[in-house]
């Protein structure tokens, strides 16, 4: 059986797609091209010189006190990013929590994350 390469992009999350250093986060926070708001989430967006979009998350313990919930939020953001990374331009995206998410359910959290990615796609 011959090896066939699929034409569909793979939904993986590589190290090259992550913002890793404080300097990379600072670049996005200091001079964002866009700030996208939802009721509980906010994303800072800036063009990058890499050949793919990159994502970072600054989820603080003050806004989300339990590690379980912080990790859940990060997983949800990464999941949405993996599925939509092939549609995004070369952007650096940093997500932060604006307000405590005690009063939000998982479905609404997914909707807010998805809305931010849709706004990034449109531009």
Task: Give 99-107 contacts, CB < 8 A, sequence gap 24+.
Answer: 99/39, 99/40, 99/63, 100/63, 100/64, 101/40, 101/63, 101/64, 101/69, 101/73, 104/39, 104/40, 106/72, 106/76
Q: Give per-residue pLDDT as tens, 18-63.
A: 999 999 999 999 999 999 999 999 999 999 998 899 999 999 999 9
pLDDT for res 10: 64
* Whether residue 4 has pLDDT greater than 80: no
Give this prediction's pTM: 0.85
Instruction: Determine how β-strand 91-97 pairs with β-strand 54-58.
Output: parallel
Which among 23, 120, 122 has a CA at the least distance from the CA of 41?
Answer: 120
Q: Assign 100 a pLDDT band (cuts: 50, 70, 90).
A: confident
Q: Give per-residue pLDDT as tens, 69-88.
A: 999 999 999 999 999 888 88
Share of the chain above pLDDT 70, in %: 90
Residues 6+ apart with CB under 8 A from 104: 39, 40, 112
pLDDT for res 6: 44
Which among 63, 62, 66, 71 has a CA at the least distance from the CA of 99?
Answer: 63
């Amino acid at each position: 059986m011959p090896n066939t390469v699929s034409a569909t992009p793979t939904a993986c999350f590589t190290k090259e797609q992550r913002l890793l250093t404080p300097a990379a986060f600072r670049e996005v926070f200091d001079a964002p091209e866009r700030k996208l708001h939802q009721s509980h989430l906010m994303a800072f967006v800036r063009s990058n010189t890499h050949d793919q979009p990159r994502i970072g998350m600054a989820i603080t313990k003050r806004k989300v006190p339990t590690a379980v919930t912080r990790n859940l939020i990060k997983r949800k953001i990464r999941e949405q990013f993996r599925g939509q990374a092939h549609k995004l331009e070369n952007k650096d995206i940093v997500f932060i929590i604006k307000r405590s998410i005690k009063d939000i359910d998982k479905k609404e959290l997914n909707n807010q994350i998805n809305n931010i990615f849709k706004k990034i796609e449109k531009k």
